[in-house]
Protein backbone atom coordinates (compact mmCIF):
# COMPACT_ATOMS: atom_id res chain seq x y z
CA UNK A 1 0.00 0.00 0.00
CA UNK A 2 1.16 3.52 -0.72
CA UNK A 3 2.71 5.09 2.34
CA UNK A 4 0.35 8.06 1.93
CA UNK A 5 -2.80 5.99 1.79
CA UNK A 6 -4.33 4.64 4.97
CA UNK A 7 -7.28 3.01 3.21
CA UNK A 8 -10.39 1.25 4.41
CA UNK A 9 -10.68 3.20 7.63
CA UNK A 10 -7.34 1.83 8.78
CA UNK A 11 -8.30 -1.79 8.14
CA UNK A 12 -4.69 -2.82 7.65
CA UNK A 13 -3.49 -0.87 10.68
CA UNK A 14 -5.09 -3.32 13.11
CA UNK A 15 -2.77 -5.29 15.40
CA UNK A 16 -4.20 -8.65 14.29
CA UNK A 17 -4.82 -10.01 10.80
CA UNK A 18 -8.14 -8.59 9.58
CA UNK A 19 -10.88 -11.21 9.24
CA UNK A 20 -14.08 -10.62 7.32
CA UNK A 21 -17.08 -12.36 5.82
CA UNK A 22 -19.40 -11.98 2.85
CA UNK A 23 -22.89 -10.50 3.19
CA UNK A 24 -25.53 -11.96 0.87
CA UNK A 25 -28.78 -11.47 2.82
CA UNK A 26 -30.78 -8.31 2.15
CA UNK A 27 -31.25 -7.46 5.81
CA UNK A 28 -29.46 -5.50 8.50
CA UNK A 29 -29.62 -8.21 11.16
CA UNK A 30 -26.80 -10.35 9.72
CA UNK A 31 -24.57 -7.26 9.64
CA UNK A 32 -25.24 -6.69 13.34
CA UNK A 33 -24.53 -10.34 14.11
CA UNK A 34 -21.18 -10.19 12.30
CA UNK A 35 -20.21 -7.10 14.28
CA UNK A 36 -21.15 -8.72 17.60
CA UNK A 37 -19.25 -11.85 16.54
CA UNK A 38 -16.07 -9.81 16.17
CA UNK A 39 -15.46 -9.56 12.42
CA UNK A 40 -13.21 -6.67 11.40
CA UNK A 41 -14.82 -6.11 8.02
CA UNK A 42 -17.64 -7.30 5.79
CA UNK A 43 -17.93 -7.48 2.01
CA UNK A 44 -21.37 -6.80 0.58
CA UNK A 45 -21.58 -9.23 -2.33
CA UNK A 46 -23.16 -7.69 -5.42
CA UNK A 47 -21.59 -10.30 -7.68
CA UNK A 48 -23.09 -13.52 -6.34
CA UNK A 49 -26.12 -12.35 -4.34
CA UNK A 50 -29.43 -10.75 -5.41
CA UNK A 51 -28.67 -7.43 -3.71
CA UNK A 52 -29.40 -4.05 -5.28
CA UNK A 53 -27.64 -0.73 -4.71
CA UNK A 54 -30.23 0.52 -2.24
CA UNK A 55 -29.82 -2.59 -0.09
CA UNK A 56 -26.03 -2.34 -0.34
CA UNK A 57 -26.31 1.26 0.85
CA UNK A 58 -28.15 0.17 4.01
CA UNK A 59 -25.71 -2.65 4.74
CA UNK A 60 -22.72 -0.33 4.29
CA UNK A 61 -24.24 2.17 6.70
CA UNK A 62 -25.00 -0.46 9.33
CA UNK A 63 -21.53 -2.00 9.14
CA UNK A 64 -19.81 1.37 9.49
CA UNK A 65 -22.01 2.37 12.42
CA UNK A 66 -21.04 -0.84 14.22
CA UNK A 67 -17.31 -0.28 13.78
CA UNK A 68 -16.63 -2.69 10.92
CA UNK A 69 -14.99 -1.71 7.65
CA UNK A 70 -17.64 -1.96 4.89
CA UNK A 71 -16.30 -3.18 1.57
CA UNK A 72 -18.36 -4.09 -1.49
CA UNK A 73 -17.71 -6.66 -4.20
CA UNK A 74 -19.07 -4.90 -7.25
CA UNK A 75 -20.76 -6.98 -9.98
CA UNK A 76 -18.47 -5.72 -12.74
CA UNK A 77 -15.90 -3.08 -13.64
CA UNK A 78 -18.41 -0.36 -14.58
CA UNK A 79 -17.18 3.04 -13.33
CA UNK A 80 -20.73 4.28 -12.69
CA UNK A 81 -21.42 1.36 -10.32
CA UNK A 82 -18.12 1.89 -8.52
CA UNK A 83 -18.90 5.59 -8.11
CA UNK A 84 -22.34 4.94 -6.61
CA UNK A 85 -20.92 2.38 -4.17
CA UNK A 86 -18.20 4.74 -2.99
CA UNK A 87 -20.65 7.64 -2.68
CA UNK A 88 -22.76 5.32 -0.51
CA UNK A 89 -19.89 5.25 1.98
CA UNK A 90 -18.10 2.00 1.16
CA UNK A 91 -14.49 2.09 2.34
CA UNK A 92 -13.31 -0.01 -0.57
CA UNK A 93 -14.27 -2.31 -3.39
CA UNK A 94 -13.34 -5.78 -4.58
CA UNK A 95 -13.56 -6.12 -8.34
CA UNK A 96 -14.04 -9.62 -9.81
CA UNK A 97 -12.12 -11.03 -12.76
CA UNK A 98 -9.48 -8.37 -13.23
CA UNK A 99 -7.09 -10.10 -15.62
CA UNK A 100 -4.75 -7.44 -16.97
CA UNK A 101 -2.78 -4.42 -15.82
CA UNK A 102 -4.92 -2.28 -18.12
CA UNK A 103 -8.12 -3.49 -16.45
CA UNK A 104 -6.63 -2.86 -13.00
CA UNK A 105 -5.60 0.62 -14.04
CA UNK A 106 -9.12 1.40 -15.28
CA UNK A 107 -10.65 0.14 -12.05
CA UNK A 108 -8.17 2.15 -10.01
CA UNK A 109 -8.99 5.31 -11.95
CA UNK A 110 -12.71 4.72 -11.32
CA UNK A 111 -11.99 4.78 -7.57
CA UNK A 112 -10.03 8.06 -7.51
CA UNK A 113 -10.84 11.68 -8.13
CA UNK A 114 -8.85 13.67 -10.70
CA UNK A 115 -5.97 13.99 -11.28
CA UNK A 116 -5.45 10.42 -10.04
CA UNK A 117 -8.63 9.08 -11.65
CA UNK A 118 -11.99 9.78 -13.23
CA UNK A 119 -14.41 9.48 -10.29
CA UNK A 120 -16.96 12.27 -10.31
CA UNK A 121 -17.47 14.46 -7.26
CA UNK A 122 -20.60 13.67 -5.26
CA UNK A 123 -20.12 15.68 -2.10
CA UNK A 124 -23.84 15.73 -1.31
CA UNK A 125 -23.79 11.92 -0.87
CA UNK A 126 -23.27 9.99 2.34
CA UNK A 127 -19.52 9.91 1.67
CA UNK A 128 -19.63 13.70 1.72
CA UNK A 129 -21.84 13.86 4.83
CA UNK A 130 -24.72 15.11 2.68
CA UNK A 131 -22.74 18.18 1.63
CA UNK A 132 -21.63 19.06 5.16
CA UNK A 133 -18.12 17.65 4.76
CA UNK A 134 -15.68 20.27 3.44
CA UNK A 135 -14.95 19.60 -0.21
CA UNK A 136 -11.15 19.31 0.23
CA UNK A 137 -11.66 16.74 2.99
CA UNK A 138 -14.17 14.77 0.93
CA UNK A 139 -11.88 14.70 -2.09
CA UNK A 140 -8.80 13.78 -0.04
CA UNK A 141 -10.65 10.95 1.68
CA UNK A 142 -11.86 9.65 -1.67
CA UNK A 143 -8.30 9.36 -2.89
CA UNK A 144 -6.56 8.26 0.33
CA UNK A 145 -9.08 6.26 2.37
CA UNK A 146 -10.72 4.06 -0.26
CA UNK A 147 -9.30 0.59 -0.93
CA UNK A 148 -9.15 -0.66 -4.52
CA UNK A 149 -8.73 -4.45 -4.54
CA UNK A 150 -8.72 -6.35 -7.84
CA UNK A 151 -9.60 -10.05 -7.66
CA UNK A 152 -7.15 -12.40 -9.37
CA UNK A 153 -9.11 -15.36 -10.72
CA UNK A 154 -7.11 -16.64 -13.69
CA UNK A 155 -3.56 -17.62 -14.52
CA UNK A 156 -3.36 -14.49 -16.67
CA UNK A 157 -4.32 -12.35 -13.67
CA UNK A 158 -1.71 -13.97 -11.42
CA UNK A 159 0.98 -13.33 -14.03
CA UNK A 160 -0.14 -9.70 -14.27
CA UNK A 161 -0.19 -9.21 -10.49
CA UNK A 162 3.23 -7.49 -10.20
CA UNK A 163 2.17 -4.90 -12.79
CA UNK A 164 -1.20 -4.37 -11.11
CA UNK A 165 0.40 -3.95 -7.71
CA UNK A 166 2.85 -1.40 -9.11
CA UNK A 167 -0.11 0.94 -9.75
CA UNK A 168 -0.53 3.67 -7.14
CA UNK A 169 -4.32 3.32 -7.43
CA UNK A 170 -4.30 -0.38 -6.46
CA UNK A 171 -3.95 -1.07 -2.72
CA UNK A 172 -4.16 -4.86 -2.48
CA UNK A 173 -5.21 -7.96 -4.40
CA UNK A 174 -7.57 -10.78 -3.53
CA UNK A 175 -7.01 -14.24 -5.00
CA UNK A 176 -10.22 -16.06 -5.92
CA UNK A 177 -8.80 -19.55 -5.59
CA UNK A 178 -12.06 -21.28 -6.54
CA UNK A 179 -12.38 -19.55 -9.92
CA UNK A 180 -8.63 -19.74 -10.45
CA UNK A 181 -8.64 -23.49 -9.96
CA UNK A 182 -11.71 -23.95 -12.18
CA UNK A 183 -10.01 -22.03 -14.97
CA UNK A 184 -7.14 -24.51 -14.66
CA UNK A 185 -9.35 -27.60 -14.43
CA UNK A 186 -7.95 -28.18 -10.95
CA UNK A 187 -8.89 -27.69 -7.26
CA UNK A 188 -8.06 -24.89 -4.79
CA UNK A 189 -5.81 -27.19 -2.76
CA UNK A 190 -3.83 -28.57 -5.70
CA UNK A 191 -0.07 -27.85 -5.71
CA UNK A 192 -0.22 -25.84 -8.94
CA UNK A 193 -2.93 -23.54 -7.55
CA UNK A 194 -1.16 -23.13 -4.22
CA UNK A 195 2.00 -22.18 -6.09
CA UNK A 196 0.14 -19.43 -7.96
CA UNK A 197 -1.41 -18.17 -4.73
CA UNK A 198 2.03 -18.01 -3.14
CA UNK A 199 3.33 -16.05 -6.12
CA UNK A 200 0.51 -13.50 -5.72
CA UNK A 201 1.35 -13.06 -2.03
CA UNK A 202 5.02 -12.63 -2.91
CA UNK A 203 4.18 -10.02 -5.55
CA UNK A 204 2.01 -8.08 -3.09
CA UNK A 205 4.70 -8.04 -0.44
CA UNK A 206 7.36 -7.02 -2.95
CA UNK A 207 5.18 -4.00 -3.75
CA UNK A 208 4.59 -3.23 -0.08
CA UNK A 209 0.92 -4.14 -0.38
CA UNK A 210 -1.49 -6.86 0.78
CA UNK A 211 -2.97 -10.08 -0.54
CA UNK A 212 -6.19 -11.67 0.75
CA UNK A 213 -7.85 -15.08 0.45
CA UNK A 214 -11.19 -16.73 1.25
CA UNK A 215 -11.48 -20.02 3.15
CA UNK A 216 -15.14 -20.86 3.62
CA UNK A 217 -15.83 -22.20 7.08
CA UNK A 218 -12.35 -23.59 7.78
CA UNK A 219 -10.53 -21.19 10.14
CA UNK A 220 -7.59 -23.56 10.54
CA UNK A 221 -6.78 -23.25 6.83
CA UNK A 222 -7.05 -19.47 7.07
CA UNK A 223 -4.66 -19.39 10.02
CA UNK A 224 -2.17 -21.57 8.13
CA UNK A 225 -2.37 -19.21 5.15
CA UNK A 226 -1.67 -16.23 7.42
CA UNK A 227 1.43 -18.01 8.69
CA UNK A 228 2.43 -18.40 5.04
CA UNK A 229 2.05 -14.68 4.40
CA UNK A 230 -1.65 -13.98 3.66
CA UNK A 231 -2.56 -10.52 4.94
CA UNK A 232 -6.37 -10.61 5.30
CA UNK A 233 -8.90 -13.42 5.18
CA UNK A 234 -12.56 -14.07 4.46
CA UNK A 235 -14.42 -16.77 6.39
CA UNK A 236 -17.74 -18.16 5.17
CA UNK A 237 -20.77 -15.88 4.54
CA UNK A 238 -24.05 -15.09 6.25
CA UNK A 239 -26.18 -17.52 4.23
CA UNK A 240 -23.84 -20.49 4.64
CA UNK A 241 -23.45 -19.86 8.36
CA UNK A 242 -27.22 -20.00 8.72
CA UNK A 243 -27.51 -23.08 6.49
CA UNK A 244 -24.80 -25.00 8.33
CA UNK A 245 -26.18 -24.11 11.75
CA UNK A 246 -29.69 -25.13 10.69
CA UNK A 247 -28.56 -28.44 9.23
CA UNK A 248 -26.47 -29.16 12.29
CA UNK A 249 -29.42 -28.60 14.61
CA UNK A 250 -31.70 -30.88 12.61
CA UNK A 251 -29.03 -33.58 12.30
CA UNK A 252 -28.31 -33.35 16.01
CA UNK A 253 -31.97 -33.69 16.83
CA UNK A 254 -32.45 -36.71 14.52
CA UNK A 255 -29.37 -38.37 15.99
CA UNK A 256 -30.54 -37.73 19.55
CA UNK A 257 -33.92 -39.23 18.74
CA UNK A 258 -32.23 -42.40 17.52
| Residues identified as active-site | 48
Tell me if 26 sits within 8 A of 87, measured CB to CB: no
Can you name the residues that pair with 174 across neighbouring β-strands? Answer: 151, 212
What length does the chain have? 258
Q: Rounded to whole angstroms, how far apart are CA atoms 14 and 197?
A: 24
Cα separation values, 171 from 2, 38, 58, 184, 234, Å: 7, 24, 25, 27, 17
* Inter-residue contact 200 to 175 (CB < 8 Å): yes
Question: Can the peptide bond before residue 108 be classed as cis, meaning omega within 30 degrees of 0?
Answer: no
CA-CA distance, 96 to 73, in Å (whole number)? 7
- For β-strands 41-45 and 232-237, DSSP reports them as unpaired
Q: How many helices (H) and strands (E) does the chain have?
A: 10, 8
Q: What is the DSSP string of 89-107?
A: T-SEEEES---SHHHHHHH
Angle between helices 79-87 and 101-111 (to 10 degrees): 40
DSSP 121: P
Give CA–CA dist 36/223, Å, rounded: 21
Three-state DSSP state, 145: coil
Amino acid sequence: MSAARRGGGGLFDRPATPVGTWLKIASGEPVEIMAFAGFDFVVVDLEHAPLDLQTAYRLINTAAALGMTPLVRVPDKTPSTIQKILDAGAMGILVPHVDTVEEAAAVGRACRFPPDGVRGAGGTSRAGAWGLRPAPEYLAAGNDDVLCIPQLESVEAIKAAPGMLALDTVDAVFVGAADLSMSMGSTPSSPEVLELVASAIEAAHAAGKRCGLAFGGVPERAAAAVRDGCDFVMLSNDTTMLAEAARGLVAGFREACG
